[in-house]
């Protein structure tokens, strides 16, 4: 219980902050734009947490289907929407959105393409209660909880199917 509603969200918040700093620095050093996937203004299970303790900032482009006015309200599952972005244009920082993927292989291949390989994510929430029940109270569309990923050291992207229905591991 404590892991699902306290420890895991706090860990994810802190790791996202750290990875966002890395992603921002990487985008500056490499002269690439920064894409943030997930509206920093919203989206946490407890909305007040997003407002009081934002885990990152907007990017040059921020992708979120139900995001704020600053966001590109794009569905990550709409493959034609990704076409507006060029190959290798961005460093991509993902924050808790890829769990909504309908075809994770297809979404990941677009991230691989637009990032040219520069991709970071703090992954999703964990804990028995979250993985079994609580995720359904957040969204009926949520399918996965992802593992953290840092393209500087990781070469496989992985996660679990919520409901403890299995796992996946894909070459990035």
Ligand X SMILES: C[S@@+](CC[C@H](N)C(=O)[O-])C[C@H]1O[C@@H](n2cnc3c(N)ncnc32)[C@H](O)[C@@H]1O
Q: Which residue has the tokens 């299995």?
A: 166
121 scored as a contact of ligand X (CB under 6 A): no
Residues 6+ apart with CB under 8 A from 124: 12, 96, 99, 144, 145, 146, 159
Q: Which residue has the tokens 């946490």?
A: 44
What sections of 31-166 are H helices per DSSP?
47-52, 104-115, 128-129, 135-138
Q: Which is nearer to ligand X, 12 or 112 (CB)?
A: 12
Site size with ligand X, rule: CB under 6 A: 21
Closest Cα partner for 119 from 127, 105, 109, 134?
Answer: 109
Task: Pick one of 32, 34, 39, 143: the residue that binds ligand X (CB under 6 A).
Answer: 39
5 scored as a contact of ligand X (CB under 6 A): no
CB of residue 99 vs ligand X: minimum separation in angstroms?
A: 8
For every residue of 38-67, which 3-state class applies, written as one string? CCCCCCCCCHHHHHHCCCCCCCCEEECCCC
43 scored as a contact of ligand X (CB under 6 A): yes
Residue 122 has a CB neighbour count (10 Å cut-off) of 25
Q: Which is nearer to ligand X, 136 or 155 (CB)?
A: 136
CB of residue 97 vs ligand X: minimum separation in angstroms?
A: 4
Task: Pick one of 38, 59, 127, 159: the residue that binds ligand X (CB under 6 A).
Answer: 38
Q: Which is nearer to ligand X, 64 or 131 (CB)?
A: 64
List the x/- string, 86-105, binding to ligand X by CB under 6 A: ---------xxx--x-----
Distance CA 106, CA 44 (A): 25
DSSP-assigned letter for residue 72:
B
CB of residue 144 vs ligand X: minimum separation in angstroms?
A: 12
15 scored as a contact of ligand X (CB under 6 A): no
Binding site for ligand X (CB under 6 A): 16, 38-40, 42-44, 50, 55, 64-67, 75-77, 95-97, 100, 141
């Amino acid at each position: 219980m404590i892991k699902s509603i306290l420890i895991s969200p706090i860990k994810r918040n802190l790791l996202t902050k750290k990875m966002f700093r890395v992603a921002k620095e990487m985008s500056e050093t490499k002269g690439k734009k920064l894409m943030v996937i997930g509206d920093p203004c919203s989206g946490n299970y407890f909305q007040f947490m997003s407002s009081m303790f934002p885990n990152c900032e907007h990017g040059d482009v921020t992708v979120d289907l139900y995001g704020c006015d600053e966001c590109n309200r794009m569905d990550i599952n709409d493959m034609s929407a990704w076409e507006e972005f060029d190959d290798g244009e961005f460093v991509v920082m993902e924050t808790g959105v890829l769990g909504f993927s309908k075809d994770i292989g297809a979404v990941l291949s677009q991230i691989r393409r637009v990032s040219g390989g520069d991709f970071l994510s703090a992954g999703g929430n964990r804990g028995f209660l979250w993985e079994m029940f609580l995720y359904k109270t957040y969204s009926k569309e949520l399918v996965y909880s992802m593992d953290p990923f840092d393209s500087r050291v990781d070469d496989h992207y992985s996660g679990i199917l919520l409901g403890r229905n299995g796992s996946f591991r894909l070459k990035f």
